[in-house]
Amino acid sequence: MPAVRKEKGCIEYLPAGDIDTGLHMQVLDEHCVTILDRWESLEALISHLRSTHILDYREKVKDLVDHVSVKVLSVLN
């Protein structure tokens, strides 16, 4: 995480996991980790995803990770 937080354009980078809230619409997945991150631009995010340390990390954990998905969100006005 420290290397990511030092990347140009990184505003925020936080790992998060599900907690049981008792809300009926919640779908819990104890095996899922979500990374919440904010970037100054889409270009900064793309640069992050292509960075050497992220590619190295993916290689190290490939046998532990079932799948990876990315959602790129924008605030609706």
pLDDT confidence tier of residue 7, bands split at 50, 70 and 90 = very high
- Mean pLDDT, to the nearest integer, of 34-54? 95
- Mean pLDDT, to the nearest integer, of 24-48? 93
- Give me the residue spans of the domains in the chain: 2-61
How many other C-beta atoms are found inside a 10 Å radius of the C-beta of residue 3? Answer: 13
Residue 18 class from Cβ within 10 Å (0-12 exposed, 13-18 middle, 19+ buried)? middle
Q: Which CATH architecture has domain 2-61?
A: 2-Layer Sandwich (3.30)
Element (DSSP H or E) covering residue 57? helix 52-61
The 10s digit of each residue's pLDDT in 12-23 is: 999 999 899 999
- Mean pLDDT, to the nearest integer, of 55-72? 92
Q: What is the pLDDT of residue 30?
A: 84
